[in-house]
Amino acid sequence: MNEVSRKEFLSKIKHYMTPPGEGVFTVHTASDKRQSLQKKMYGPDAVAHKRVRAIWEESLEKTLPLSNCVILGIPSDCGGGIQRGANWGPLYLRESLINSRENLKAYDIGDVRVVPHLLHDKYLNQETIENCRLALYQNKKVNLPVSPLSIAYDFAKNFHQQFPAKNLFMIGGDHSVSYPMVRAYLEAKKIQGKKVALIHFDAHTDLLEERMGIDLCFGTWTSQILPYLESPQHLVQLGIRASGRDRGHWETKFGCMQIWSEEIIAKGAGVIAEQVIAHLKNLAIEEIYISFDIDCLDQEYAGATGTPEPKGLSPHEPMLIMQSLFENFKITGSDIVEIAPLVRAPYIKQIEPETTLLVASSLATFLIQAMGLTN
Ligand SMILES: [Mn+2]
């Protein structure tokens, strides 16, 4: 494994990441929103005098080493495919988190730079890679990735090497962005000798092996992550309800554990939490990664998402399950994805995206606080 020094890692971050809220490349669109976030984070003077990048770069050296939990945005929706718009998740959710006035002890490391037409470097030819390097880094031969999933993996892999005791909280993005984060997490935990499991809240299984020929997207990322788990039983999926196949098909084919939405509602979240905890204890699990697709919630609470689904969970159900899990295992990695704040499903009566953002921000607050306490 080619380990880079701390200095090289910070230099990479300054190249392939941006200060919080700048990962979506725009000139005017949402610039007021971005400025309002950065004023709250860095002060009005920093924004007025264009000092945000300088302060952010300095914070990488001074503040980053002090925090247990580090927040990262991946504003990419190139891996989505029904209704895009999750690229605005990181900017909007950050603002909701700040407005909630919870004093979150976490360091925000910023956004992955996103070329919106790119997904993963393995899908690109050399000419495109060089053109994008030239655009992003002003050097077509520099050895840096250009696609969001490739940048995220390089970042997360180096992060875990540099800071093995720190935990990452990622804001997506469509669900494909969890693939590089979970893969880097699982590889790092294997090196650390920790026994870990992936807890996946979602209306969908995301277990396709490919979707229209693409093996890394919102519908396939979990099947692609299975080889990195110790066994498929180390994947627990909760809240599933929109699937072309039944639970038996997926559990038999892949060997993971699934608990569908109707079962959680019928038995109660407390009973389900006990069932999951017993399963994980049986596997001698020490730490967990929670990947939270906002569409595991009923469309009444999560209408601002690419594929809202009825008959889903109420916010207290996953919250109770996560709290019970936290009482038994360390949460050492997590993400919340598929929040598409500008998407308004016309058949949903609620005023969106306020409900979705409010609920997402309370779930995110729990995860950030849980990870801030763990190391
Ligand atoms: Mn998903």
- Is-contact 14 113, C-beta < 8 A? no
Q: How far is the CA of 219 from the centre of ligand 1 (A)?
A: 7
Q: How far is the CA of 83 from the centre of ligand 1 (A)?
A: 13
Q: Is it true that the peptide bond before 73 is cis, omega within 30 degrees of 0?
A: no
Residue 375: predicted pLDDT: 57
* For residue 294, pLDDT beyond 90: yes
Q: How far is the CA of 299 from the centre of ligand 1 (A)?
A: 14
Give the SS3 label for residue 247. helix
The arithmetic mean of pLDDT across residues 218-234, rounded, is 98
Q: How far is the CA of 363 from the centre of ligand 1 (A)?
A: 16
- Domain locations along the chain: 6-373
Q: How far is the CA of 131 from the centre of ligand 1 (A)?
A: 31
6-373: CATH topology: Arginase; Chain A (3.40.800)
Q: How far is the CA of 54 from the centre of ligand 1 (A)?
A: 36
Q: How far is the CA of 372 from the centre of ligand 1 (A)?
A: 25
CA distance 115 to 129: 11
311 φ/ψ angles, rounded to the nearest 5 degrees: 60, 35
Q: Whole-model pTM?
A: 0.97
Residue 349: predicted pLDDT: 66
pLDDT tens-place string over residues 31-57: 999 999 999 999 999 999 999 999 999
Close Cβ partners of 251 (under 8 Å, ≥ 6 residues apart): 257, 258
Q: How far is the CA of 194 from the centre of ligand 1 (A)?
A: 26
Q: How far is the CA of 202 from the centre of ligand 1 (A)?
A: 5
Q: How far is the CA of 249 from the centre of ligand 1 (A)?
A: 18
Residue 346: predicted pLDDT: 66
